[in-house]
Amino acid sequence: MSRRAVVIGAGLAGMLAAAALSAVADEVVVLDRDDLPEGPEHRKGLPQGRHAHLLMAGGLASMEDLVPGVSMRKHLLAAGAHEIPLGSGMVALTPEGWLRRWRHPGPSMLTCTRALLDWAVRGAVLDSTGVVIRKARVLELTGSRQRVTGVRVSTAAGEEDLAADFVVDASGRGSRIVTWLAALGVDDVREKTVDAGLVNATRLYRTPEGAGRFPLTMVQADPYQGRPGRSGMVLPIEGDRWMVSLAGTRGGGEPPSDPDAFLRYTLDLPDPIVGRLISGAEPLTDVHVSRSTSNHRRYLEKVRSWPDRLVVLGDALATFNPAYGQGMSVAALGARELDRELRRSALGEPGLARRVQRRVARPVESAWTMAVSQDVWYPGTRGGSPGVADRLVTAYTRRMIRTATGSYTAASAVWDVMSMTTGPTRLLRPSTVLATLSGPPLPAAVGAPLTDDERAVLRRLDRTGG
Ligand SMILES: Cc1cc2nc3c(=O)[nH]c(=O)nc-3n(C[C@H](O)[C@H](O)[C@H](O)COP(=O)(O)OP(=O)(O)OC[C@H]3O[C@@H](n4cnc5c(N)ncnc54)[C@H](O)[C@@H]3O)c2cc1C
C-alpha cells in the first residue's frame, strides 16, 4: 500500500523534514499557505526573512546529511553565500572584550539572505527527491488522541481532508499545534515564554569598493549591566551587499526605523565600528523593523500520551531570541533526528513519533539554555529572572568568554557550542575548564583586531570624523 507523508510548511524545517521522509514514504506532500517565489526573493509568509540569518556549522552539517546527493555548502556558496571562519574571519566585541583573531580558522558559518537560503534548500530538495509542494492552508489535524490520520486543508477549490500515514508540523512560530492537539483531546501541553522584547532593525547597503574582504563585524549586546541590550552587526551577503542588522531589548535598547537614527544607534554602541563602516556606504533599502523575537517553547516531549504519526519541528516546536542565531540550525538538527529514527523504524510504527519528539528536544534544550540564560539578565524581560543556577552558569560563562578573548582553547569551545556542532557539555570538558580557570594566556586585544589593510579600509570608509 502506498504511504503518504504530509508536511505542513515549506520553510526550512518543512523542506528538510520532507527530504528525510522522502527516503521512506512513497509520496511526500508539503503544504504551504504562501505563494513560494521562483527565485531568491522575500515572501510574505517569512516576515523575519528580511533580517540577518546566520547559518551555523551544526545546522549546515545536518543539511548536508539530509539532502541526498547535494552538498548544501557548495550549493549555497555557488549561489552567492559567504563562508565566515569564526576564528579568523570575524571581528567581535563581546561583553568581556574583543575576541582575538587566530591563524587557525575554526568552524565556519554561512551568511546570505534568508530568501536565498530557503530558495536554495527548497530547490535542492525538490530536484533530488520526489517531494511535491501544494498551496494549501492547514486548518486542523484529523485522527484521534492515539493517532493522527491526516490534515484538513483549505485551498482555492475549498476545504478537504488529506489522509496521511505521517504528518510533520513545520508551520513556524505561528503554528496552531496546541489548539490542534487540544481538538484531538491532547490538552496537557506545557508552554513557556521568556521575552526580552528584542527589536530587530535591518538595512542593506552596497558593499563599498575595496571592502569585499572586510571581516564580519559585530558588537554584541551585554546582558549583565542592568541596562537594555544593544547590538549591531555588518555581514556580507550575496550580490556584493552588506546586511546591517541592529537589535536591542525592551526599555530603551530598541533600534529605530528612521535612517539617520539608525546610523546614530550604531555609533552609540560600545564601539562605533559598525557606524564607521556604513557611514559612507550606499543604502539599498529602507530600514525594516520586526518584533517577534521571544523565546517560546512547547514541551511536547513531556505530553503524557503523544499521538502516533505526528512530529512537530522547527519554530512550531520552539523559538529562540534570534540574537543567538540558532533557530535554523535547531530546525535542521531536528529534521536530522527525524531522519535517523525513520531509518531505524517503519513509518507507521507505534511509538516512533514520540521517540522523534524526545530526541528533537535535545538540540532545543541546548539552544533554549543558551538563549534564556542570557535573556533573563536584561531589565524588562518577561517570563523569567535569574535563579541560583543561572547565576552559577553565568559566572562560569562570563569567565570563559573573558578567557576566550585571549585563549584559543576557550575560544574554540565557545565556537563549537555557538555553532551547535556540540552540546553545552563541551564547555565542561577538563581542557576547557582548566583553560577557563587559568584565564587568558594572551592579553585581550585593545580595539578591534584588524590587520593594517583592514584598518586602512575602515579609515577610508569612515565619514564620521571619528
Ligand atoms: C528577526 C529574526 C532573525 C533570525 N535570525 C536567525 C539567525 O541568524 N540564525 C538562525 O538560525 N535563525 C534565525 N532566526 C530564526 C529562524 O527564522 C527560524 O528558526 C526559522 O525560520 C524556522 O524555520 P521553520 O521552517 O520552522 O519556520 P518558518 O521558516 O517560519 O516556515 C514556516 C512555514 O509554514 C507556512 N505555514 C504557516 N502556517 C501554515 C498553515 N496553517 N498551513 C500551511 N502552511 C503554513 C509558512 O508560510 C512558512 O512557509 C531568526 C528569527 C527572527 C525572527
* pLDDT tens per residue, range 212-223: 999 999 999 999
* Residue 124 Cα to ligand 1 middle (Å): 18
* Confidence check: pLDDT of 284 > 70: yes
Nearest CA to ligand 1 atom 41: 138
Average pLDDT over residues 324-346: 96
Closest-CA residue, ligand 1 atom 3, reads 322
Q: Please give the grid coordinates belonging to residue 241.
A: 551587499
Count of alpha carbons within 13 angstroms of residue 184, beta-carbon side: 26
* 53, 54, 117, best to mutate for ligand 1 pocket (most atoms within 8 Å of CB): 53
**In the predicted structure, residue 251 carries a pLDDT above the cut 80:** yes
CB of 160 closer than 8 Å to CB of 152? yes
Is 147 in a helix, a strand, or coil? strand
Distance between Cα 171 and ligand 1 center (Å)? 8
Residue 249: other Cβ atoms inside 10 A: 28
Nine cell digits for residue 62: 545536518
CA–chain centroid gap for 301, Å, is 21
Phi, psi of 195 (to 5 degrees): -125, 110
Instruction: Measure 118 CA to ligand 1 centroid, in angstroms.
Output: 10
Q: What is the pLDDT of residue 82?
A: 98
Backbone angles phi, psi at 124, to 5 degrees: -65, -40
46 C-alpha to center of ligand 1: Å?
6
Confidence check: pLDDT of 93 > 70: yes
Confidence tier at 446 by pLDDT (50, 70, 90): confident
Place of cell 524526545: 358
Out of 108-122, 292-306, 423-437, 443-457, least confident range: 423-437
> Please, which pLDDT band fits residue 352 given cuts at 50, 70 and 90?
very high
State what percent of residues in the chain have pLDDT above 90: 87
Nearest CA, atom 4, ligand 1:
322
Task: Give the CA distances from residue 66 to residues 121, 264, 302, 343, 458, in Å, rounded to whole numbers and listed in that order.
Answer: 10, 43, 27, 12, 41
Phi and psi torsions of 84, nearest 5°: -115, 110
Kindly give the distance from the C-alpha atom of residue 226 to the centroid of ligand 1, in angstroms, as a whole number: 31
Contact residues of ligand 1, CB 6 A cut-off: 8-14, 31-34, 45-46, 48, 51-54, 137-138, 170-172, 174, 200, 290, 292-293, 314-316, 322, 325-329, 331
Which comes out higher in pLDDT, residue 44 or 258? 258
Task: Give tens-digit pLDDT for 57-79.
Answer: 999 999 999 998 889 999 999 99
Instruction: Using alpha carbons, list the distances in angstroms from residue 146 to 143, 247, 353.
Output: 8, 43, 11
Mean pLDDT throughout 295-324? 97
pLDDT of res. 216: 98
pLDDT range class, residue 173, cuts 50, 70, 90? very high
pLDDT of residue 44: 87
Checking if the pLDDT of 205 tops 90, the result is: yes
Residues 100, 97: Cα–Cα separation, whole Å: 9
Question: What is the pLDDT at residue 466?
Answer: 61
106 closest CA partner among 83, 129, 127: 83
Calculate how far, in angstroms, residue 162's C-alpha sits from the geometric centre of ligand 1.
24
- Ligand 1 center from residue 247 Cα (angstroms): 18
Q: What is the structure's pLDDT at 359? A: 97
For residues 333 and 312, give the distance between their C-alpha atoms in angstroms, rounded to a whole number.
Answer: 13
Q: Ligand 1 mean position to 151 CA, how many Å?
A: 21
- pLDDT at res. 155: 96
Nearest atom within ligand 1 for CA of residue 49: 17
- For residue 170, the ligand 1 atom closest to its alpha carbon is 26
The stretch 48-64 carries a mean pLDDT of 96
Q: How far is the CA of 292 from the centre of ligand 1 (A)?
A: 11
- Residue 434's pLDDT is 85
137 Cα nearest atom in ligand 1: 42
What are the DSSP E strand ranges found in 9-105?
A: 27-32, 53-55, 82-85, 90-94, 97-98
Q: Exposure pattern of 177-214 as b/e (b: 16+ CB <10 Å)?
A: bbebbeebebeeeeeeebbbbbbbbbbbbebbeebeeb
CA 12 – ligand 1 centroid, Å:
7
Question: Which of the listed residues 6, 16, 30, 32 should we mutate to test ligand 1's pocket, taking the one with most ligand atoms within 8 A of CB?
Answer: 32
Q: Is the pLDDT of residue 180 over 90?
A: yes
Q: Which domains does the chain have, with CATH numbers?
A: 4-81+114-193+295-373 (3.50.50.60), 380-438 (no CATH)
Which atom of ligand 1 is found nearest the CA of 173?
30
Weakest mean pLDDT among 77-86, 109-118, 218-227, 382-391: 382-391
Residues in the chain: 466
User: Per-residue confidence at 157, pLDDT binned at 50, 70, 90?
Assistant: very high
Please give the torsion angle defined by the CA atoms of residues 411, 414, 420 and 422, in that order, rounded to the nearest 10 degrees. 90
Q: Residue 428, exposed/middle/buried by CB under 10 A (0-12, 13-18, 19+)? A: exposed
Q: Is the pLDDT of residue 444 over 80?
A: no
- The mean per-residue pLDDT over the stretch 440-447 comes to 82
Atom of ligand 1 lying closest to residue 13 CA: 25
Q: What is the pLDDT of residue 465?
A: 77
